[in-house]
Amino acid sequence: MTTSLRPEQPVSDDLTSPLEPGRALFTTSMTTLSVVFTFFAIIPLFSVLIYVLIQGFTSLSPDIFTKLPAPAGTPGGGFGNAIQGTLLMVGIAALISVPFGVLSGIFLSEYARDDRGIIEVIRFGVNVLAGVPSIVIGVFAYGVVVLSTKTFSAYAGGFALAILMLPIIVRTTEEALKLVPWELRLGSLGLGADRFNTTARVIVPAALPGIITGVMLAVSRAAGETAPLLFTALFSQYWIDKVGQPTASLAVLIFNYATTPYADLQRKAWGASLLLLILVLAISIISRYVFRRRF
Amino acid sequence: MQTQPSNQLEAPENLTAGGGSLQPDTIARGVFLVAALAVVGTLFWMAFVVARDAMPAISKFGLGFLVNSTWDPVVEEFGGLTFVFGTIASSAIAMLLAVPVGLGIAIFLTEDFLPEWILTPIAFMVELLAAIPSVVYGLWGIFVMIPIVRAVETFLNQTLGWIQIGGKSIFGVPYGPGLLTAGVLLAIMILPTIASISRDVLKAIPRSLRNGSLALGATRWETIFRVLLPAASSGVVGACILGLGRALGETMAVTMVIGNTPQIDTSIFAPAYTIAALLANEFAEANTAVHIGALFFAALLLFVITLLVNIVAELIVRRVSLERN
Amino acid sequence: MSSEQLQADQVPTKAVTAYKVRNMAFFYGTKKALDNISVDLPAKSVTAIIGPSGCGKSTFIKALNRIAEAETKVRIDGQIELFGQNIYDPKVNITRLRRRVGMVFQRPNPFPMTIYDNITYGPRVFGFKGNYDEIVETSLRRAALWNEVKDKVKTSALGLSGGQQQRLCIARSLAVNPDVLLMDEPCSALDPIATLRIEELIETLRDQFTIIIVTHNMQQAGRVSQNTLFFNTDESRIGQLVENGPTKEIFFSPKDKRTEDYISGRFG
Ligand SMILES: Nc1ncnc2c1ncn2[C@@H]1O[C@H](COP(=O)(O)OP(=O)(O)OP(=O)(O)O)[C@@H](O)[C@H]1O
Ligand SMILES: [Mg+2]
């Protein structure tokens, strides 16, 4: 179109003439497209939230927390055992993953200066671990725990969830520690405290709210995970009487009930989803507030 | 509180310590390091266990596993082709949808299109999408998406059903569950990964590049396409590959909407099956050694594929962040 | 037709005013950064802007190509005319304005692409159909960079030294044949030799372009400019134009005490 580099018209005519049609079209179409895209991305979010809220809310009742599942087809009953199971397995998972995760996080944050090489390797490994599909983690837990104990159990489920939580705890701990002002370290080191004392007495206490938030975030993610529990903890219709037996969980309950033809069970799936969603979203929002970035 | 006068005398000694002497500091560092190595060691442990338990199937089926499309526990013949196909095809559909949309969102949420007070909540909402458990997406998929897909399929069959391949409508039988349904749901699920990471990458581009382009008389979109996206390209590619890694391994949502039929059909509406869904459905019930071995083999396959994808993504993202420092 | 000829046809001859600024006030959000600026900036000559840090020099030249509004929310009162056209008129197309008003920033900001692509960026954006090789050579020659890079125009611009990068940025602006070239402390990130190069370059560009340069370096202002604007702030932290006129007068017989103090302080 343009063959000369300087517009021929006088300055005032040139400045007030509109953008070339092609460029104007490009601008409008791209802007429209990105508005539409953003809109499309937000629709599913709202749709999921609204459905879970409406469907889940109508199915909530005190029975849900206190009763066992009713036999398929008969109304009533609850899923107290699934809530119990989720709490138990997430608890086991936290017992395993919190010590390893927090200690690793401390290493990554506080020893970063003198151990560059190994820190890079570990951070790389943690990120890759975070990308391992949760179903593969379930397969691993099956191979390690189920095959050797010869039974599905809360241990196996808890073990799988622990591995899932590890990378989240490591990263959030590291981040929480990094949010502690640098002067605090200098202050403590300057008083003659060694690094371990500085870390244990000053830095970790200062970062504790962040570390706890990170653990909660990991717990909420684990509570929503289904795939690693399907063939480690399996499911159960009964209250838990010992840890070494198949155990119900909210997440597996949603999967099992969603795929049945019974309306009553489907309603319970929505109810369980609502519980999980409230947990997960509340903790995500808190953690966003604490860390000001996403995990 | 711990400072005692004597510490001052010890100070020079402390400064030179660290080598062989077992100070509390050295021990602590050792403990931290061991914990961190244990976390990374899990990866190797995992690889070892899965490979070990897949061994019987690997020695029995070998690489033929990859090209055999029969999966029949009754006659103990196991081939993974249909699952590999389903995994790749559903992820491909997801990427096709999620990459442009995710990138569009990332741009829209970075380049000053919106005032801060509306931008922050939208960006946060997109990130929240990532926190919703996948089984909840699956539930939503079953009760909200599938009826819609079924209606669309029926409509397409009625109006365009004459477009056929091998005597069958390309829109398939209107079930609802199928490859396309799974692909769309996966796209929704990986969207936040792609959008948020791309947004971080775009945000990190120095303002001076934008200004340089604008000052030459380029429009905002010209600046985005000609300067910013090329400058952000490797980071954006890294974001997309991370998204791909998630899509390949995603289990619950896919299992709930893909139809779980081991086949390779001419219609993208037709039911299919993925490796992850196979594991989800059959692991608990498998009881013969060959069947369990074959499932481990499939799991190993998925593990290796996602591992490679994630390592590549990690290397790219890392290189980008190194370049920036 | 070479770009030089094009240039010649269009030149508003001697003593034409490029920018006419009247009662201009500049706000970042609600914070006033400049107040009551009125000045004429002559075409085809170099105008230097001097003054203490924070007095609004950058703000002033960022108002001249309307790049300030790309960064934050700003408001401009009063009038700024470029060759008789009010540039804040709602009818004005901002991309056309910026095409006529090039800008060189404090830190060199070459795009992460080849030297060639950097130079041809503007013309490509405008859909120019013609000889790109010629544009590249002409622009690089005008920016006194051709001899140094002629064998590697297809390599990354990021491989150049800081001074070369800054001249590349000048060349990039020249490639679209602007009327005006704004420079915000173009030498502050460069070593003395690179600085000298840029000053020589400004010298050669002087009679083809209207050049407005912000500088902290008094000697530089004295060497390259014909006219000088002195900005200052008081306790109000609002920038004002204290004095302007031919550089010699501002330097050797300033009318305002503040100008004199600043200049003697800087030379001292
Ligand atoms: N984006 C902005 N938002 C708000 N205030 C700003 C912004 N940019 C500059 N200011 C303020 O406007 C005033 C003038 O700034 P400006 O950058 O124009 O000064 P300057 O004369 O170029 O200084 P220097 O010599 O240090 O470059 C300063 O008080 C500064 O704090
Ligand atoms: Mg400045």
Q: What is the pLDDT of residues B280-295, one digit of tens each?
A: 999 999 989 999 999 9
Subunits close to C (at least 3 CB pairs below 8 A): A, B
In chain A, which residues have their Cβ closer than 8 Å to the Cβ of B143? Answer: 51, 55, 258, 266
**Distance (Å, rounded) from C-alpha A42 to C-alpha A59?**
26
Give the length of chain A: 295
Residue C70 lies in a domain: yes
In chain B, which residues have their Cβ closer than 8 Å to the Cβ of A139? Answer: 50, 279, 283, 295-296, 299, 303
**Residue where the block lists tokens 């409230």:** A278
Q: What is the pLDDT of residue B84?
A: 96
Note whether C109 contacts B216, CB cutoff 8 Å.
no
**Distance (Å, rounded) from C-alpha A225 to C-alpha A228?**
7
Q: What is the pLDDT of residue B324?
A: 59
**Distance (Å, rounded) from C-alpha B229 to C-alpha A38?**
18
Q: Give me the mean pLDDT over the B61-83 stretch.
A: 93
Phi, psi of A143, rounded to the nearest 5 degrees: -65, -40
Any long-range contacts for C19-22 (C-beta under 8 Å, 24+ apart)?
C19/C64, C19/C80, C19/C81, C19/C82, C19/C180, C19/C210, C19/C212, C20/C79, C20/C80, C20/C81, C20/C84, C21/C78, C21/C79, C21/C80, C21/C81, C22/C78, C22/C79, C22/C80, C22/C81
C181, C211 in Cβ contact below 8 A? yes
Going by CA atoms, what residue is nearest to atom 7 of ligand 1? Answer: C28
Residue A137 lies in a domain: yes
Ligand 1 pocket test, pick from C27, C28, C35, C64 with the greatest ligand atom count within 8 Å of Cβ, gives C28
Q: Give me the mean pLDDT over the B112-136 stretch.
A: 88
Asked whether residue C268 carries a pLDDT value surpassing 60, the answer given is no
Band of pLDDT at residue B21, cut at 50, 70 and 90: low
Asked whether residue B1 carries a pLDDT value surpassing 50, the answer given is no
Residue B227 DSSP class: I
pLDDT in tens, A143-183: 999 999 999 999 999 999 999 999 999 999 999 999 999 88
Q: Radius of gyration (Cα) for chain C, nearest Å? A: 18
For residue B194, the enclosing domain spans 57-324
- Say yes or no: B210 contacts chain C, CB-CB below 8 A: yes
Alpha carbon distances (Å) from B106 to B126, B199, B212: 10, 5, 21
Q: What is the pLDDT of residue A227?
A: 96
Residue B283 lies in a domain: yes
pLDDT in tens, C36-68: 999 999 999 999 999 999 999 999 999 999 999
Note whether A18 contacts C95, CB cutoff 8 Å.
no
In chain B, which residues have their Cβ closer than 8 Å to the Cβ of C65? Answer: 215
Strands laid side by side in the C101-104 sheet: C101-104, C180-184, C210-214, C46-50, C227-232, C240-246
Percent of chain A with pLDDT over 70: 97
Residue B44 lies in a domain: no
- Say yes or no: B46 contacts chain A, CB-CB below 8 A: yes
Q: What is the pLDDT of residue B36?
A: 92
CB burial readout C118-152, b (16+ within 10 A) else e: bbbbbbbbbebeeebeebbebbbebbbbbebbeee
Which of ligand 1's atoms lies nearest the C-alpha of C72? 1
Note whether A7 contacts C95, CB cutoff 8 Å.
no
Q: What is the pLDDT of residue C2?
A: 42
Instruction: Please name the residues in contact with A194: beta carbons below 8 A apart, sequence gap of 6 or more.
Output: B14, B23, B24, B25
Going by CA atoms, what residue is nearest to atom 24 of ligand 1? Answer: C53
Nearest to A12 among C1, C84, C176 (CB): C84
Sign of the dihedral defined by the CA atoms of residues B55, B60, B62, B64, in that order: negative
Q: Give me the mean pLDDT over the A46-55 stretch.
A: 93
Tokens for B260? 């779980």
Q: How many structural domains compose chain C?
A: 1
Band of pLDDT at residue B120, cut at 50, 70 and 90: confident
Band of pLDDT at residue B325, cut at 50, 70 and 90: low
Residue A39 lies in a domain: no
- Say yes or no: B311 contacts chain A, CB-CB below 8 A: yes
More confident site: A115 or A26: A26
Domain containing C26 — which CATH number?
Answer: 3.40.50.300
**What count of Cα atoms within 13 Å lies in the side-chain half-sphere of residue A266?**
12
Band of pLDDT at residue C24, cut at 50, 70 and 90: very high
Residue B222 lies in a domain: yes
Strands laid side by side in the C85-86 sheet: C31-42, C17-28, C74-82, C85-86
Q: Which of A148, A167, A169 is nearest to A232 (CA)?
A: A148
For residue C79, the enclosing domain spans 3-263
Q: Tell me the pLDDT of chain B averaged across its residues.
A: 89
Residue B242 lies in a domain: yes
Note whether B140 contacts A163, CB cutoff 8 Å.
no
Count chain B–chain C contacts defined by CB atoms under 8 A: 67
Q: Give me the mean pLDDT over the C104-123 stretch.
A: 95
Q: How many structural domains compose chain B?
A: 1
**Distance (Å, rounded) from C-alpha A266 to C-alpha C52?**
72
Per-position DSSP letters for chain A, written without gaps between them: -B-SSS--S-HHHHHHSPPPHHHHHHHHHHHHHHHHHHHHHHHHHHHHHHHHHHHHHHH--HHHHHSPBPPTTS--B--HHHHHHHHHHHHHHHHHHHHHHHHHHHHHHHTTTT-HHHHHHHHHHHHHHHHS-HHHHHHHHIIIIIHHHTS--HHHHHHHHHHHHHHHHHHHHHHHHHTS-HHHHHHHHHTT--HHHIIIIIIHHHHHHHHHHHHHHHHHHHHH--GGGTTTT---SS--S-TTS----HHHHHHHHHTSS-HHHHHHHHHHHHHHHHHHHHHHHHHHHHHSS--
Instruction: Please name the residues in contact with A168: beta carbons below 8 A apart, sequence gap of 6 or more.
Output: A101, A130, A214, A217, A218, A221, A295
- Say yes or no: A3 contacts chain C, CB-CB below 8 A: yes
Residue A108 lies in a domain: yes
Q: C268 CA to chain A: closest CA distance, Å?
A: 40
**Residue where the block lists tokens 């018209």:** A9
Q: What is the pLDDT of residue A5?
A: 66
Q: What is the pLDDT of residue A235?
A: 94
Q: What is the whole-number distance in angstroms between the Cα of residue C58 and the centre of ligand 2?
A: 4
Q: C177 CA to chain A: closest CA distance, Å?
A: 6
Note whether B40 contacts A234, CB cutoff 8 Å.
no
Q: How many other β-carbons are positioned within 10 Å of the β-carbon of residue B121?
A: 9
**A200: exposed, middle or buried (C-beta count within 10 Å: 0-12, 13-18, 19+)?**
middle
- Parallel, antiparallel, or unpaired for β C180-184 and C210-214? parallel
Nearest to C92 among A2, A5, A15 (CB): A15
Q: How many structural domains compose chain A?
A: 1
* Bridge partner list, C77: C25
Per-position DSSP letters for B267-306, written without gaps between them: -TTS----HHHHHHHHTTT--SHHHHHHHHHHHHHHHHHH
Least trusted range by pLDDT, from A1-10, A106-115, B316-325? A1-10
Q: Which of B94, B189, B83 is nearest to B140 (CA)?
A: B189
Nearest to C96 among A4, A10, A15 (CB): A15
The continuous run of DSSP H or E covering B168 comes out as strand B168-169
- Say yes or no: C112 contacts chain B, CB-CB below 8 A: yes
- Say yes or no: B127 contacts chain A, CB-CB below 8 A: yes
Q: Which of B200, C163, C21, B27 is nearest to A293 (CA)?
A: B200
Secondary structure of chain C in HEC code, one letter for each residue:
CCHHHHHHHHCCCCCCEEEEEEEEEEEECCEEEEEEEEEEEECCCEEEEECCCCCCHHHHHHHHCCCHHHHCCEEEEEEEEECCEECCCCCCCHHHHHHHEEEECCCCCCCCCEHHHHHHHHHHHCCECCCHHHHHHHHHHHCCCHHHHCCCCCCEHHHCCHHHHHHHHHHHHHCCCCCEEEEECCCCCCCHHHHHHHHHHHHHHCCCCEEEEECCCHHHHHHHCCEEEEEECCCCCCEEEEEEEEHHHHHHCCCCHHHHHHHHHHHC
Q: Which of A233, A232, A216 is nearest to A84 (CA)?
A: A233
In chain B, which residues have their Cβ closer than 8 Å to the Cβ of C98? Answer: 214-217
Q: A27 CA to chain C: closest CA distance, Å?
A: 12
* Bridge partner list, C211: C46, C181
Q: What is the pLDDT of residue B22?
A: 67
Residue C62 lies in a domain: yes
Subunits close to A (at least 3 CB pairs below 8 A): B, C
Domain containing A251 — which CATH number?
Answer: 1.10.3720.10
In chain A, which residues have their Cβ closer than 8 Å to the Cβ of B299? Answer: 135-136, 139
Asked whether residue B9 carries a pLDDT value surpassing 90, the answer given is no
Q: Give me the mean pLDDT over the A13-21 stretch.
A: 88
Residue B18 DSSP class: -
Q: What is the pLDDT of residue A26?
A: 95
**Distance (Å, rounded) from C-alpha B219 to C-alpha B237?**
24
Q: Give me the mean pLDDT over the A186-197 stretch.
A: 85
Asked whether residue C11 carries a pLDDT value surpassing 80, the answer given is no
pLDDT in tens, A27-44: 999 999 999 998 888 898
Secondary structure of B53-71 in HEC code, one letter for each residue:
HHHHHHHHHHHHHHCCCCE
Tokens for A223? 């509570």
For residue A103, the enclosing domain spans 83-291
Ligand 1 binding pocket (C-beta < 6 A) is C 28, 31, 33, 51, 53-59, 71-72, 237, 239
C111, C121 in Cβ contact below 8 A? yes
Domain containing B66 — which CATH number?
Answer: 1.10.3720.10
Tokens for B283? 């692991």
Q: What is the pLDDT of residue B115?
A: 86
Residue B8 lies in a domain: no
Q: Tell me the pLDDT of chain A averaged across its residues.
A: 91
Q: Which of A23, A29, A38, A114 to mutate to test the interface with B (most CBs of B within 10 A)?
A: A38
Q: Which of B109, B194, B121, B116 is nearest to A288 (CA)?
A: B121
The continuous run of DSSP H or E covering B307 comes out as helix B289-324
Nearest to A14 among C96, C126, C175 (CB): C96
Q: Give me the mean pLDDT over the A189-218 stretch.
A: 90
CA angle, residues B128, A126, B123, in degrees to nearest 5: 20
Going by CA atoms, what residue is nearest to atom 12 of ligand 1? Answer: C33
Q: Give me the mean pLDDT over the C84-92 stretch.
A: 93
CA C107 to chain centre: 13
**Distance (Å, rounded) from C-alpha C53 to C-alpha A286?**
42
Nearest to B35 among A100, A227, A284 (CB): A100
Least trusted range by pLDDT, from B103-117, B159-173, C122-136? B159-173
Percent of chain A with pLDDT over 90: 66
Asked whether residue B157 carries a pLDDT value surpassing 90, the answer given is no
Which of A155-159, A290-294, B119-123, B154-158 shows the highest mean pLDDT? A155-159
Tokens for C25? 């006030």
Residue B175 DSSP class: -
B223, B260 in Cβ contact below 8 A? no
**Distance (Å, rounded) from C-alpha A60 to C-alpha A240?**
22
Note the maximum CA span of chain B. Answer: 94
Tokens for B26? 């050295």
**Distance (Å, rounded) from C-alpha B181 to C-alpha B138?**
11
- Parallel, antiparallel, or unpaired for β C180-184 and C101-104? parallel
Band of pLDDT at residue A112, cut at 50, 70 and 90: confident
- Say yes or no: B117 contacts chain C, CB-CB below 8 A: no
Q: Which amino acid is at B273?
A: Y
